[in-house]
Amino acid sequence: MGMKPIAAWVLALSLVSASPVTAQQAPASAAETDPVKLGWMQGTPPPEKQIRFSDGSFLHFPKNRWSFAHYRELFPTARIGRGKGPVVPLPRALRADLATLSFTPDGETKPRNWVETFDATYGDAIVVLHRGKIVFERYNGVMNADQPHIGFSLTKSFYGTLTEMMIAEGAIDEAKTVAQYLPELAQSGFGDAAVRQLLDMTTSLDYNEDAADADAQMAKFMLASGGYPRPKDYAGPANTFELLKTVKKVAPHGERFDYQSVDTEVLGFIIARVSGKPAEKVLEERIWARLGAENDANITLDEAGASRSTGGMSATARDLARFGEMIRRGGRWGGQQIVPAPVIAKIRQGGNKQDFARAIWDYNTRRGWSYKSQWWHTHNANGAFMGIGMYGQAIYIDPKAEMVIVRFNSGPVGSTVGMDHITMPMFQALADRLGGGR
Amino acid sequence: MGMKPIAAWVLALSLVSASPVTAQQAPASAAETDPVKLGWMQGTPPPEKQIRFSDGSFLHFPKNRWSFAHYRELFPTARIGRGKGPVVPLPRALRADLATLSFTPDGETKPRNWVETFDATYGDAIVVLHRGKIVFERYNGVMNADQPHIGFSLTKSFYGTLTEMMIAEGAIDEAKTVAQYLPELAQSGFGDAAVRQLLDMTTSLDYNEDAADADAQMAKFMLASGGYPRPKDYAGPANTFELLKTVKKVAPHGERFDYQSVDTEVLGFIIARVSGKPAEKVLEERIWARLGAENDANITLDEAGASRSTGGMSATARDLARFGEMIRRGGRWGGQQIVPAPVIAKIRQGGNKQDFARAIWDYNTRRGWSYKSQWWHTHNANGAFMGIGMYGQAIYIDPKAEMVIVRFNSGPVGSTVGMDHITMPMFQALADRLGGGR
C-alpha cells in the first residue's frame, strides 16, 4: 500500500489535525450534539446510533462527544491504579460569582459569559481549583465526576514530569542519547537525540502531526500504535516500537521546537527500559497512586502491550485537578512530597523561547511561549503553564492566581491552537477574578 | 465464507473445547510453563515472546498462562466498579495443617498432596474461606492478590443471581418468553424460550460448545462477539446480538439441560432491556459495588458495547470469594442484605436432575447433579454448588463445611469436565478437613 491511499483513507475518517481547521460549513452546535440528547449508544444493544472502533466512527464528530468519555470501552487498556490509600479531599468552596463572569475572546469585541462559552465550545467537563478548593465544577453530556475522559496529550505532561523525577534521581541522564538507552533505535532518526531533546521536543524528524500532509506520518503512527482501525490490507509496522524504528532524521536535533508525539513514545520506552517495568506502572507507583485520587486512570495499549505515552491516558477531571494542584504546590500533596520540589522548579523555569519561536508551525496564538519537559509555558505575567491535549483538553496551572483548571472537551476541531483565542482569555479571566481575592 | 473454513481456522488457533481433550503428547508441565519464568511479555516493548490478541496467540497454551490474567489489556472492557465504600475485610486465619492435606483423585489409587496438585494442574490462584476467614491463599505465575483473572463462565453465576433478584422483585417474569422482552429475537430460536429456560439452560438450540464440530457454532459466537480475532474476510454477524438473531431452535425448549452460553447472553440483554442500563452496570449497582470488594472487576465488550455476560468478567480471587461468601451466608454480607434470602434459597434448591440426566453431553463426572439459575449443583451430602468457568475457574460453595473456594486456572485443557476427577475430590478433601472443625 502506498502512502496516498493511507492518507486518503485516514482523511476520510475526519482525522484530527494540528493545523487550524477551516470548516466548510458551520458544524452542529454543542447543544445540538449533546451525546445524551442524540442518543448515542443508548439501549443494549444500541438498536441504532452505535459508535464503534472498527469502522472509525468513534473519531467522527459528533460521535466523539460520546467516545472521548469511553475510551476504555473501545480500546485495550492498562489500569493506572489509585492505590488503596484514602482519597485526598478537594474541599468545595463554590464561587457563585463565577457563573456570571464574562470575558472577550481575542479577535472579538463583545464580552461573552464564560460558562455559556465553555458549553458552546463543546466543553465536557471543567473543574476550577483556587488554593486547592473547588470553586467551580461542571459536567455536560455523558460526563460526571467519576467518568474518566481521554486526556490525549495531557498524558505527555505526566510522562514528562516522571522523566524529570528519574533524571533528578540519576536513573536517567538527560544528556544521554536514545541509542544509549534503546539500542534498537540507534539506526532510526532518534539514535543521536538526547533525552533532553525528547523532553523539550527539539528533535528534527521526518514526522509531523498534520493529517492534511500526504505523507500522513501521524496517521501511520496511529495505525501502527492501534489508535485507529487498520484497513484490511494494512501492512505497516505492527506496533509503536516498530514504527519508531522507521522514523528518519531530517536535520540536527536541538535547534528548534517541533511538536512531535513520537518523542514522548520514546520517553515512555526509556522509562520502561530503565525501570524494568511498563512505563504506566512506574507512573502509577510514583505519581498516580500517591495522589489520593478518587478513581483509577487508564491508558490505551498497542498490540505489543505498550502504553500510548503520547496520548492514551483517561482520568476524571477531579483527579487531574489533584495532579495539577500537586504540581502547583511544588510537588507536595496530601502530606507527601510526591515530586521533588527542585523538579517542579526546573519544569517551571520553562523552555527556550528562541527554540519555540523557530518552530516549523507558526504558533501565532502562542507567541512568546516555550515548551519544556512536556509542558507548555505561557510566560505570561502569572507564570501560567499547561498540559494541552487535542480537541481542547487542558490542565492549566496559574501560580500567581493560585489556580488550577482542568477542562475536557470534544467537538469538531482537533486543533487546540484553533481554540486558543477563546481558551486563553477565558482562563485569564478566571485567574483575574480569583487572583484578585475577595 | 463457508462454515468449514471458519471451523478450520478456529481449530488452528487451538481453541477451547467443552469436550475432554486427548493430548497427542503430554503437554508441558505447570512448572515448565510458569509465565514469569517463560518471560512472556517481559520488557517494554517485549523484544520477543509477545502475546497478542490479533494473532490469536493469547489463547494458545502456554501463553494463556499470562493472558488469562491480562484480559483487560487485550480487550475493550467496561468497569464494574467496587464503589467508594470501605473494603469488607476477609480476616486471615491461615491453617498450616492444610498444606499437608492429601486426597486421591478419582481413578487413581495413591493420595496426592493437594497443594502440589493445584500447582501441577496449572493453578493460578486459590483462596479458601472457612466461616468467612481466609484459611488458605496461594498465587502462582503472574497472579497476585490484586490481579484480576478471567473467570470465563463464572460470569454466568453473577448474571443468573442478578436475574433471580429481578424476578423476585417482579421486574422480570420467569415465565415470559424472550420475544416478550426482546422482540428482535422473536424469529430466532430463542423467541418462545422462557426466561426460566434460559436460566436453567433447558433451551434446545442449533448451537453447541464443541469446537471440534464442523459447524463450530461456538466459534461463530466468539467471532461475532469479539472474543477471537476475525479473519480478514470475515463476513459474519457484527456483534453478539446479531449472532443471537441467527440461532435456530431444534426441538421444544424445556425438555433437557443443554449447556449453551448463548442463553446467558440473552439473559444479559433482558436485564439491560428491563433496566434501561447496560447489564454490567446493573451488576455493579446491585451486587459488585455492595460487596466491599478490594478491586474493580471488569468485563469484555463486543463491537456494539455489549458486555460478554457468558464469560467476560475478570476479578481478583479474594473479591470472588467475597461474592461466594455472601451467597453462602444467604445474601447478607458486610451488614447489608445484598441478595434477598429467598432468592438464595431458591437457587440453592438446585435444578431438575432429570433434565440434567437427559443432557446431550454425557457429564459422566457429574452424575446426579443439576443446573439452576446459572449455578451447577452437585447435590452431594454437603449441598455444594458451584460456578464453573472453562480451564478450571471455580467458585465452590459448601454450606455444610461453611467453606468457599475460589480457584483460577490456566493450562492446556479448556474442558472443566476433564478436570473433575481431580477438582471434585480435592475440594471435598478440603471440606472434610474444615467441616470437621478443630
Averaged pLDDT for residues B415-426: 94
Count the helix, strand and coil residues of chain A and give each as a percent rounded to the nearest 5.
35, 15, 50
Interface residues of chain B, partner chain A, Cβ below 8 Å: 41, 43-47, 50-54, 72-79, 81, 84, 87, 146, 184, 232, 239-241, 268-269, 272-273, 277-279, 294, 296, 301, 303-306
Q: Do B78 and A73 touch (CB under 8 A)?
A: yes
C-alpha dihedral sign at A287, A290, A291, A295 = positive
CATH homologous superfamily of B3-25+31-84+126-435 equals: DD-peptidase/beta-lactamase superfamily (3.40.710.10)
CA distance A159 to A267: 7
State the pLDDT at residue B5.
Answer: 33
Asked if the A3-84+124-435 domain carries CATH number 3.90.245.10, the reply is no
Neighbours of A349 (CB within 10 A): 11
Chain B residue numbers with beta carbons less than 8 Å from the beta carbon of A308 are none
Is B163's pLDDT higher than 60?
yes
Q: What are the beta bridge partners of residue B139?
A: B125
What does the mean pLDDT of chain B come to? 91
- Per the structure block, which three cell numbers stand in for A18? 494540528
User: Which is higher by pLDDT, B436 or A309?
Assistant: A309
Q: Are B396 and B127 in contact (CB under 8 A)?
A: no
**Residue B46 pLDDT grade (very low, low, confident, very high; cuts 50, 70, 90):** confident
Averaged pLDDT for residues A14-43: 70
State the pLDDT at residue B219.
Answer: 85
CA distance B308 to B161: 16
Q: Are B429 and B101 in contact (CB under 8 A)?
A: yes
One-letter amino acid of A85? G
Q: Do A45 and B240 touch (CB under 8 A)?
A: yes
Averaged pLDDT for residues B80-101: 96
Interface residues of chain A, partner chain B, Cβ below 8 Å: 41, 43-47, 50-54, 70, 72-79, 81, 84, 146, 184, 232, 239-241, 268-269, 272-273, 277-279, 294, 296, 301, 303-306
CA B70 to chain centroid: 16
- What does the pLDDT look like over B284-331, one tens digit per residue? 999 999 999 999 999 999 999 999 999 999 999 999 999 999 999 999
CA distance A362 to A290: 39
Is A51's pLDDT higher than 60?
yes
What residues does each domain of chain B span? Answer: 3-25+31-84+126-435
3-state secondary structure B203-240: CCECCCCCCCCCCCHHHHHHHHHCCCCCCCCCCCCCCH
In this structure, the strands spanning A370-372 and A336-337 are unpaired
Q: How many helices (H) and strands (E) are present in chain A, helices listed first?
A: 15, 15
Three-class SS state of A112: strand
Residue A263's contacts (CB-CB under 8 Å, 6 or more residues apart) are A193, A197, A198, A199, A201, A203
**Residue A338 pLDDT grade (very low, low, confident, very high; cuts 50, 70, 90):** very high
Per the annotation, the verdict on B204 as an active-site residue is no
Of residues A72, A84, A273, nearest to B44 (C-beta): A273
Residue in the block written with cell 507527601: A336
ipTM comes to 0.92
- The percentage of residues in chain B with a pLDDT greater than 70, rounded to a whole number, is 92
Q: Which residues of B3-29 are buried (b: 16+ CB within 10 A; e: fewer)?
A: eeebbebbeebbbbbbbeeeeeeebee
Is A401's pLDDT higher than 50?
yes
Is A5's pLDDT higher than 60?
no
Phi and psi at A37, nearest 5°, equal -65, -35
CA distance A171 to A275: 8
Averaged pLDDT for residues A4-16: 35
Minimum mean pLDDT among A58-62, A275-279, A296-300, B9-13: which range? B9-13
CA distance A119 to A373: 31
Residue B7's contacts (CB-CB under 8 Å, 6 or more residues apart) are B211, B213, B214, B215, B216, B219
CA distance A391 to A388: 9
Distances (CA, A) of A117 to A29, A31, A428: 12, 12, 14
Chain B residue numbers with beta carbons less than 8 Å from the beta carbon of A83 are none
Neighbours of A168 (CB within 10 A): 15
CA distance B249 to B243: 14
Chain B residue numbers with beta carbons less than 8 Å from the beta carbon of A46 are 304-305
Is A13's pLDDT higher than 80?
no
Of residues B53, B73, B305, nearest to A73 (C-beta): B305
Sequence length of chain A is: 438
- Per the structure block, which three cell numbers stand in for B20? 475432554
State the pLDDT at residue B362.
Answer: 81
State the pLDDT at residue A209.
Answer: 72
Q: What are the beta bridge partners of residue B138?
A: B126
Min Cα–Cα distance to chain A from B292, Å = 13
Residue B252: asked if its preceding bond is cis (omega within 30°), the reply is no
Q: Determine the residue among B44, B234, B243 to mutate to test chain A binding: the one whose Cβ has the most chain A Cβ atoms within 10 Å.
A: B44
Averaged pLDDT for residues B221-233: 91
Min Cα–Cα distance to chain A from B365, Å = 37
- Per the structure block, which three cell numbers stand in for B140? 502462582
CA distance A279 to B45: 10
pTM score, whole prediction:
0.93
Q: Do A78 and B74 touch (CB under 8 A)?
A: no
C-alpha atoms less than 13 angstroms from C-alpha of A267 in its C-beta half-sphere: 36
B153, B157, B204, B314: the catalytic one is: B153
Min Cα–Cα distance to chain A from B363, Å = 34
Min Cα–Cα distance to chain A from B70, Å = 9
- Per the structure block, which three cell numbers stand in for B60? 494458545
Q: What are the beta bridge partners of residue B389?
A: B393
Of residues A41, A72, A279, nearest to B77 (C-beta): A72
Q: Are B324 and B166 in contact (CB under 8 A)?
A: no
In this structure, the strands spanning B332-333 and B375-377 are unpaired
CA distance A136 to A128: 5
Chain A residue numbers with beta carbons less than 8 Å from the beta carbon of B41 are 305
Chain A residue numbers with beta carbons less than 8 Å from the beta carbon of B184 are 47
CA distance B330 to B341: 5
Min Cα–Cα distance to chain A from B179, Å = 15
Count the helix, strand and coil residues of chain B and give each as a percent rounded to the nearest 5.
35, 15, 50
- CA neighbor of B315 nearest in space, from B222, B387, B408, B404: B408
C-alpha dihedral sign at A56, A59, A62, A63 = positive
State the pLDDT at residue B338.
Answer: 98
Is B25's pLDDT higher than 90?
no
- What does the pLDDT look like over A122-163, one tens digit per residue? 999 999 999 999 999 999 999 999 999 999 999 999 999 999
Is A249's pLDDT higher than 90?
yes
Chain B residue numbers with beta carbons less than 8 Å from the beta carbon of A69 are none
Q: Do B76 and A76 touch (CB under 8 A)?
A: yes
Q: Are B137 and B126 in contact (CB under 8 A)?
A: yes
Is A295's pLDDT higher than 90?
yes
Q: Are A417 and A363 in contact (CB under 8 A)?
A: yes
CA distance B414 to A358: 61
Q: Are A185 and A356 in contact (CB under 8 A)?
A: no
Q: Do B45 and A74 touch (CB under 8 A)?
A: no
Chain B residue numbers with beta carbons less than 8 Å from the beta carbon of A305 are 41, 44-46, 50-51, 73
What does the mean pLDDT of chain A come to? 91
State the pLDDT at residue B7.
Answer: 35
One-letter amino acid of A367? R
CA A145 to chain centroid: 19
Q: What are the beta bridge partners of residue A405?
A: A128, A396
In this structure, the strands spanning A336-337 and A123-130 are unpaired
**Residue A219 pLDDT grade (very low, low, confident, very high; cuts 50, 70, 90):** confident
State the pLDDT at residue A24.
Answer: 56
Q: Are A353 and A347 in contact (CB under 8 A)?
A: no
> Which residues of A carry out catalysis?
153
Which chain B residue has the Cα nearest residue A51? Answer: B304
Min Cα–Cα distance to chain A from B421, Å = 37
- What does the pLDDT look like over B184-201, one tens digit per residue? 999 999 999 999 999 999
Q: Are A247 and A205 in contact (CB under 8 A)?
A: yes
Is A1's pLDDT higher than 90?
no
Cβ–Cβ pairs < 8 A, chains A and B: 94
State the pLDDT at residue A47.
Answer: 74
**Residue A272 pLDDT grade (very low, low, confident, very high; cuts 50, 70, 90):** very high
> Given phi > 0 = left and psi -120 to 50 = alpha, else beta, which region is A91?
beta
- CA neighbor of B114 nearest in space, from B94, B97, B90: B97
Is A10's pLDDT higher than 80?
no
Three-class SS state of A223: helix
Of residues B77, B269, B296, nearest to A44 (C-beta): B269
State the pLDDT at residue B44.
Answer: 79
